[in-house]
Amino acid sequence: MRKAGERFLFWLVVVIVLVGALYGVYRAVSTPEEIPLPNELTGEDWIKGNPDAEVVLIEYSDFQCPACASFYVIVEEILDEFGSHMQFAYRHFPLKSIHDKASLAGQAAEAAGLQGKFWEMYAEIFENQAMWKQLSVNDAENYFTKYAANLDLDQKQFIEDLNSSKVENLVEAEFKSAREGGLNSTPTFFLNGEKIENPKDLQEFRTLIRNAIEQTNT
């Protein structure tokens, strides 16, 4: 009986170890931490423009950053002019130490995106930055929820998604991508995989994009 009991305990330990190992493999496979490379598009990116275009502009940005709000206007002008020849991807890089609502704003855009309105919320947030950036975090959340209502989103679902770990992780993954890529300021742009100096104005940006388009056509 003693030997039978010892064999039982031995196999019980083996089973527990195997189950633990299999669970660890399952977690590693089923819940990977997907951190995009700074200069390459992924299936998670929000794309504006022509998704088949060879010219790719990726921006790492902070919704609470004044410079980012200025470049938002420039990028919209660029897309109006060259949108059929390029694709643009927006990524979150909230500078948390100085912008207390940047992550929340990014989550608001992602939550709207889950209902098909990422770019609409993106525009609302940037165009009204001067209004919500002065508010407390709670009041800013209420403000973003009003935006959601203006966009005819399901408000209950929006609030649930806004505070979900899924949406927080989406913003955090792009933040980590920026950090691991050595980025330290916003906005930061990559044009066709190469980090570029921020253009001084619309004309300089227009020249960069036009040259990139011409290079792909030669």
Question: What CATH number is associated with residue 81?
Answer: 3.40.30.10
With respect to residue 72, please indicate whether it lies within any of the assigned structural domains. Answer: yes
- Band of residue 89 on the pLDDT scale cut at 50, 70, 90: very high
Residue 203 is assigned to a structural domain of this protein: yes
Cross-strand bridge partners of residue 196: 189
Residue whose C-alpha is closest to residue 86's, from 46, 43, 47 = 47
The answer to whether position 90 is within a domain reads: yes
Query: Would you say residue 39 lies in a domain?
Result: no
Which among 189, 188, 45, 61 is positioned nearest to 129, based on CA atoms?
61
- Ramachandran bin of 53, using left for φ above 0, alpha for ψ from -120 to 50, beta for the remaining angles: beta
Q: How many domains does the chain have?
A: 2
Residues 7, 111, single domain; the answer is no
Say what percent of the chain tops pLDDT 90: 80
How many Å apart are CA 149 and CA 89, to the nearest integer?
A: 25
Q: Let me know whether 100 and 173 are in one domain.
A: yes
Do 25 and 51 sit in the same domain of this protein?
no
In this predicted structure, the answer to whether residue 26 has a pLDDT above a threshold of 60 is no
Residues 22 and 120 in one domain: no
pLDDT at res. 13:
42
Same domain for 173 and 83: yes
Question: What's the whole-number mean pLDDT along residues 19-27?
Answer: 35
User: Which range marks the domain in which residue 131 is found?
Assistant: 46-216
Confidence of residue 7 (pLDDT cuts 50, 70, 90): low
Task: Please write the tens of the pLDDT for every residue from 137-185.
Answer: 999 999 999 999 999 999 999 999 999 999 999 999 999 999 999 999 9
pLDDT number for residue 21: 38
Cβ atoms within 10 A of the Cβ of 95, count? Answer: 17
